[in-house]
Amino acid sequence: MKNTWRFGEKEFHYIHKVLDSGFGSGTSGSMNNLFEETFAKKVGSKYAITFNSGTSTLHAALNAVGVGPGDEVITTPLTVISNADVIIAQNAIPVFADINPDTFNIDPEKVEVLITDKTKAIMPVSLYGLCCDLDPLLKLAEDYNISIINDAAQAFMADYKGRPIATQAHITSYSLENSKHITTGDGGIVVTDDEKLATKMRKFGSLGYAAMKSGDGRIRLNKEIFQDPNYKRHDEFGYNYRMPEVAAAIGVAQTERLDFFVNLRIEIAKMYNEVVKDCDYIIPQQNPHGDRHTYWTYAIKYERDDIPWQDFRRKYIEFGGDGIYAAWALCYKELLFTTDTFKKRAPYYYKDVYYNEDNLCPIAESIQPKLMQFVTNYGSVGEATNKVNALKQTIEYFD
């Protein structure tokens, strides 16, 4: 089996439990419930709800806080397109706020000037494992009566000013895609301390079943009720975003080892830090509050004009590196926006919405082409050593 450092007997143990139980769905089995309870306890939240992706978690979160047609949601342009997609899926309007040039996260000062009477939510991203600057965002939420959804897809077990991030925003969302700290292959999980929000998200992700509760997605346990022709099942609109029981089984096992996975990435990031500390043209992502950064990836700004980005990457690979990942194109620079394709979703609400102006988010536009992301997803410090040394050799080569 590949990735034996990542998957092992624990995963097989819980998968066998699912198979031995008759292989139910999330509406009848117990593994999703176990995963939710285990994860919520681990991150310090009251409620957790599993989903089939970290995109559907965000979609459910927006719906739960009341985002609807014509509403505005402020988010960062430096993120995967999912953040914009789910806003459009609600027929709402993405509003992009610029980023902090040192942390690469959304800048709260740039957020406030964009708030209007249509603003319903702010959806920051805790990029690369570093929590966004939550306190000023939460203050804005209080002042303007709007919600904060922290997309922590890459920030498992991060903290903010000494506090776990899962305890702070109204809703915190995590991705379980295969590159994340823990994974179910594909999947997502969302947490909140608000019972009403938890119930809304659970119903939205499972066809709006009336019997669903904040802490339980099983609605087929009492057959006397469920198998009655007069039983009315659905009292709200919802999608089928449920996580399969087998995926949840893997999630339980992965959560039990979450500290190991997170600490390993932190140790590998320290190795990168040591290599680049005296290099004046490689500027690591800054951590102004000294928060626990959990390094989904090790991200830097490449500030050298005489050696092209691509040439540096090629030399790094020659020395044995795994490659250097570029940051996504800014959301509003994607063809979805530049060609106005997004308007087909809701022409009435988008007829006067445009994203083709120059310098919409000038700091993000300046920094995005310079970002380099180095892999931290290795099975051991030893495995990472050669890759870190490749970066050291590359820097020495171009000095």
Which residues are designated catalytic? Answer: 180
Residues 6+ apart with CB under 8 A from 83: 58, 75, 76, 94, 123, 125, 151, 331
Which helix (H) or strand (E) covers residue 102, if one does?
none
Q: What is the number of H-type helices and E-type strands within the chain?
A: 15, 12
Torsion of CA 8, 12, 14, 17, to 10 degrees: -170
Structure tokens at 364: 């993000």
Distance CA 96, CA 70 (A): 15
Determine the residue type at 3: N
Token pair of 220 as six digits: 């087929």
Contacts of 327 (CB under 8 A, 6+ apart): 78, 299, 368, 371, 373
Widest CA span of the chain, in angstroms? 77
**CA 381 to mean position of chain CA atoms:** 25
Bridge partners, residue 96, by sequence: 75
Angle at the Cα of 9 (from 3 to 12), degrees rounded to 5? 95
